Amino acid sequence: MADDMNLSRRLLEQFLVVAQEKHFGRAAERLGMRQPPLSQSIQRLERVVGARLLDRGPHGVRLTPAGESFAADARRMLDLQSAAVARARRISTGLEGDVRIGYVSLMSQLYLPTMLRTAAERLPGLRVHLQHGSSAGVADRVRTGTLDLGFLRDPRRLADDLVSRVIATEPIAAAVPRDHRLAHAVDGIALAELAREGFVLPDPGALPVLAEQVQLACRQAGFAPREVATADDLTGLFSYVAAGLCVSLAPAGLRHLTGTGVTLLPLRGGTGHLDTAVYAIHRSDADPAVTRLLELITALRPQSP
């Protein structure tokens, strides 16, 4: 019965290395141990789990369906354990340790560099780790505690134990091809001037806030956008525009990240749907390190472009 509870961190790490290498010999070398003890460890793990996790063959191993599922859960268990240890150390020592921050889309280039630089200057004891993901994925990992802080654009479907605050507000702009007839209208255009254009539309599942804003703003401007394509991220959206196939709407703060084939134009005559916000999200029991980072972020809040 002792084995039934012996899911040690070392055992999980050994299993994940074997799963990655798909070969006991290479995994043993990477772990700095001999192959027979590693094989015995994995056999013990399979007894603990009560399922065969690996199919063994003459040329290596592969994960069984149970092994695939267990590997994903094992990674989450190790991440959560590391996050719990790091959080406890931060609380006990003040502001020392690791902070895991999740972000979506192009925020890493737009907002995070300034935050990282300022945090390094003012909170030198913190080590910040960045992890990219979807809005839903970042929110879920903040909720479970494997991320300490998240940045996203859609806070509407957050769990009740998560808190959000606006860290930046920026207007929506028209994204047109560089050689578009309106591309040189540097003082801005009225959205109605794009009524006859084809649009690449944000995918509502991946970019729900922007997708809703595009529909509402165009409707208030007197037309429904004619769909030419859809994109599930902003880089894909800009690619369609740069190809000269269509136009779109996007946050104005991304004007330096669109590439040479896209021009972002200000939109005149606000419709009430032409502002977008970036949110920081965290658990309601945020520790002192997260609170201090949020104070820095608030102080650094950029002005609308």
At 189-243, the pLDDT tens digits run 999 999 999 999 999 988 888 899 899 999 999 999 999 999 988 889 999 999 9
- Whether residue 143 sits in one domain with residue 287: yes
Two structure tokens written together for 227? 């769909």
pLDDT > 70? residue 273:
no
More confident residue, 60 or 177: 177
**79 lies in a domain?**
no
- Whether residue 246 sits in one domain with residue 211: yes
pLDDT > 70? residue 270:
no
DSSP code at position 247:
B
Two structure tokens written together for 76? 């989450």
Average pLDDT of the residues in 172-189: 93
CATH number for 139 = 3.40.190.10
- Whether residue 251 sits in one domain with residue 285: no
- Whether residue 291 sits in one domain with residue 158: yes
Q: In whole angstroms, what is the distance from residue 82 CA to residue 54 CA? A: 26
- Whether residue 105 sits in one domain with residue 62: no
**77 lies in a domain?**
no
**83 lies in a domain?**
no
**For 125-284, where are the E strands, in sequence order?**
126-132, 149-152, 162-177, 189-190, 198-202, 226-231, 248-251, 262-265, 267-268, 275-283
pLDDT > 80? residue 154:
no
Q: In whole angstroms, what is the distance from residue 225 CA to residue 210 CA? A: 13
CATH number for 22 = 1.10.10.10
Closest CA to 4 of 70, 50, 56: 50
pLDDT value for 4: 47
**86 lies in a domain?**
no
Q: In whole angstroms, what is the distance from residue 282 CA to residue 131 CA? A: 15
Q: In whole angstroms, what is the distance from residue 221 CA to residue 271 CA? A: 7
Which H or E run includes 133? Answer: none
- Whether residue 268 sits in one domain with residue 198: yes
- Whether residue 254 sits in one domain with residue 182: yes
**78 lies in a domain?**
no
Two structure tokens written together for 183? 């591309």
- Whether residue 187 sits in one domain with residue 255: yes
pLDDT value for 207: 83
**91 lies in a domain?**
no
User: Would you say the C-alpha torsion 161, 234, 167, 266 has a positive or negative sign?
Assistant: negative
- Whether residue 181 sits in one domain with residue 113: no
- Whether residue 43 sits in one domain with residue 32: yes
CATH number for 267 = 3.40.190.290
Dihedral (Cα; 191, 193, 194, 197), 10-degree rounding: 170
Two structure tokens written together for 196? 């006859």
Question: Token match 């001037």: residue?
Answer: 193
DSSP line for 140-174? HHHHHTS-SEEEES--TT--TTEEEEEEEEEEEEE
Q: In whole angstroms, what is the distance from residue 285 CA to residue 152 CA? A: 19
- Whether residue 271 sits in one domain with residue 187: yes
Q: In whole angstroms, what is the distance from residue 153 CA to residue 33 CA? A: 46
C-beta of residue 53 within 8 angstroms of C-beta of residue 64: yes
Closest CA to 250 of 195, 152, 301, 176: 176
**172 lies in a domain?**
yes
Range of the domain at 177: 168-276
- Whether residue 286 sits in one domain with residue 145: yes
**156 lies in a domain?**
yes
Q: What is the pTM of this model?
A: 0.65
Q: How many domains does the chain have?
A: 3
